[in-house]
């Protein structure tokens, strides 16, 4: 059973470009969470999705950021018009149900904006 798969592992974008980060949850997991880790900091919750639904987006910046988890395919975190401050590690986690005793994390995507 493959773990949570994120790609790409590393992504470099110029200011103003778009960044697309992908997350395939573990098989059988229908809950996906995105977190952001700025340098030298802990992870901060961004958004929680179930298939085709955004359940909690309280941690998402109001502009330029969006997330989806379609019926088929991976979850996508999209950042439009990236700025230097978007440089961070973005982690995806998945779980099979709510209130799980373990959230399985992917290896993260390290976004660098130049």
Partner 1 sequence: AQKITQTQPGMFVQEKEAVTLDCTYDTSDPSYGLFWYKQPSSGEMIFLIYQGSYDQQNATEGRYSLNFQKARKSANLVISASQLGDSAMYFCAMREGDGNKLVFGAGTILRVKS
User: Cα–Cα–Cα angle for 90, 19, 108, nearest 5°?
Assistant: 20
Report the C-alpha gap between 67 and 55 in whole angstroms: 11
Residue 76 or 104 having the CB closest to partner 1: 104
Q: What are the percentages of helix, strand and coil residues in the chain, rounded to 5? A: 5, 50, 50
Residue 65 touches partner 1, criterion: CB under 8 A: no
Q: Give the one residue of 15, 27, 44, 51 binding partner 1; rule: CB under 8 A.
A: 44
Biggest CA pair distance of the chain: 39
| 102 touches partner 1 (CB under 8 A) | yes
Task: By CB under 8 A, tell whether 52 contacts partner 1.
Answer: no
- Residues lying near partner 1 in the complex (CB under 8 A) are found at 31, 33, 35, 41-45, 48, 55-56, 59, 89, 91, 93, 95, 98-99, 101-108, 110
């Amino acid at each position: 059973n493959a773990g949570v798969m994120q790609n790409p592992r590393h992504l470099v974008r110029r200011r103003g470009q778009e960044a697309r980060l992908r997350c395939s949850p573990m098989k059988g997991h229908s809950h996906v969470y995105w977190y952001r880790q700025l340098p030298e900091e802990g992870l901060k919750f961004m958004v929680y999705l179930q298939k085709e639904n955004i359940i909690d987006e309280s941690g998402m910046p109001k502009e330029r950021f969006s997330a989806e988890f379609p019926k088929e395919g991976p979850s996508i975190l999209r950042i439009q018009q990236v700025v230097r401050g978007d440089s961070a590690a973005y982690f995806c986690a998945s779980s099979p149900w709510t209130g799980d005793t373990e959230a399985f994390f992917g290896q993260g995507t390290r976004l660098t904006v130049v």
